[in-house]
Structure 1
């Protein structure tokens, strides 16, 4: 049982991201379906609206629940929003590019293309999202290592 707890602790971010990433993908797929197959919008427009709604959902769940990034100042929140949507902007072009290739060039059905697209984009999003919300954590860890190094030097008396 202790082994399982260690694994869950070690891979907590990946596991919770998988759950909330899956939910964001469901938001994306359902929204796409509504706009594409119920309202009958062109697939790229439906995909863009689905991307926007899923990423708004994704920002707040990733920030608060997955990576547990705290709300500190408005400026810090603004930086995270910009960073998040910058990287998600990259996945937006990947998302639309995959949809164009799958539907217009390969002739796949719209929903099949959307589901495959979400699997690929989800992996890219995990990598970029973890960078966004863990950046300040990495900076704090680096500062801690530097301080420990200087503390060790001072204790040994190797300083001027």
Structure 2
């Protein structure tokens, strides 16, 4: 039991990120589906719509429950949000390239390629969030 507690503590960030990353992916998939299937917005605009709502959800959950941000003054929070958005923009570009490749070049299903790109984006987002955006400051 002690070994399990040690492992849970050691991998707490990854475990929580997996949970909230999964929820973020669900936000992305649901909002993409709503925009693409219900509102009949084209696939690229639906992708951007889903990306926006995913990053809002991800920032709030990552800041609070995953990485326990210590940024509390205005400028620190602004800097953190800027880094978060910059990292998310970079991974969104990666996701869009993967999505574009599957949907527009290979002519395959947009829903499936949206899920595929999400896997790559979530892993990239974890690395950038842990090592750059929410990196613990030495005191």
Q: What TM-score results when the alignment is normalised by the length of structure 2?
A: 0.96
* Alignment match, 1:153: none
Listed one character per residue, the Cα deviations across residues 33-68 of structure 1 (whole Å, up to 9, x for unaligned) are 000111111101000010000000000100010001
Superposition pairs for residues 129-144 of structure 1, below 5 Å? 129-130=129-130, 131-134=132-135, 137=136, 139-140=137-138
**Root mean square deviation of aligned Cα:** 1.0
Superposition pairs for residues 106-121 of structure 1, below 5 Å? 106-121=106-121
* Alignment match, 2:101: 101
Listed one character per residue, the Cα deviations across residues 56-89 of structure 1 (whole Å, up to 9, x for unaligned) are 0000100010001134101110000000000111
* Separation of aligned partners in 2, 1:39 and 1:74: 37
Structure index of larger Rg: 1
Decide which moves more: 1-10 or 120-129: 120-129
Point out 4+ residue stretches in structure 1 off by more than 3 angstroms: none
State whether residues 87 and 128 of structure 1, in contact with CA within 8 Å, keep that contact through their aligned partners in structure 2: yes
* Separation of aligned partners in 1, 2:121 and 2:53: 15
State whether residues 35 and 46 of structure 2, in contact with CA within 8 Å, keep that contact through their aligned partners in structure 1: yes
* Alignment match, 2:61: 61
State whether residues 13 and 66 of structure 1, in contact with CA within 8 Å, keep that contact through their aligned partners in structure 2: yes
* Alignment match, 2:15: 15
* Alignment match, 1:6: 6
Q: What TM-score results when the alignment is normalised by the length of structure 1?
A: 0.84
**Gaps in structure 1 of 5+ consecutive residues:** 144-160
Report the alpha carbon displacement of residue 110 of structure 1 after superposing the two structures with TM.
Answer: 1.0
Report the alpha carbon displacement of residue 92 of structure 1 after superposing the two structures with TM.
Answer: 1.3
